Every structure is written in C-alpha cells, then in structure tokens.
Amino acid sequence: MRTMCCLRSTASGTRAVVYRSGRCQGIVGVVDFLTDAVPRADRGWEADGVFRPVEPHLPRAELLADPDLRPVFAHLQSRRRLPGLARSRLGALLPDLPRLGTAR
C-alpha cells in the first residue's frame, strides 16, 4: 500500500485505471484505493491504495478501436467515473483483477 495522487471525489473502495501517455500509450495498471482522499500540503488530493500492473498493457489503439471506449480515450482527461457501457467494455478487456477489501 502507498499514498498516491487522486481526485478529490476518491473514496475508499474506488477503483481507477492508470494510463501512460507518451511512448507505449495505454492502460498500464489499476489502483484500488483503501482510504478516502485527503488534501495534500502542496495542493491536490491523495489517498492510500494498491497499484497492480496490467501486463501486457492495454494499448491506446485497442481502446480507440472500441466504439464504447473511443469517446473516453480519444481526448484524455481525468474522469470521476466512466459511462456504463465504457465501464463494462473496459472490465472485459482488463485481466481479471479481484477488488481488494476496503479499510474503514
């Protein structure tokens, strides 16, 4: 477990994907957050979570080829949640990673 940057709305039990930009773009991991977000001293938000790599990574080309995921990954930005169809498709493309228990 380690502390990572996150969105202010991150709550214990939130799952997020980690996207690599630049060379070899795509989803490279999943983070299961174990605590709610708290303010950082230098602005921004952080929470404790567990990072698990996705190997091999899920390339951006594959994300853009899917009609339900294209709108999400064509113009990258932080998102609070994915639309239902995109969430289902992404779940089907990622390896089976069971959710971690939450700490409350």
Evaluate if pTM is beyond 0.75. yes
Other Cβ atoms less than 10 A from the Cβ of 44: the count is 12
pLDDT at 100 (0 to 100): 63
Contact status, residue 46 vs residue 40, Cβ threshold 8 Å: yes
Contact 55, 39 (CB under 8 A): no
Mean pLDDT, residues 15-19 taken together: 90
**101 falls in which pLDDT band (50, 70, 90)?**
low
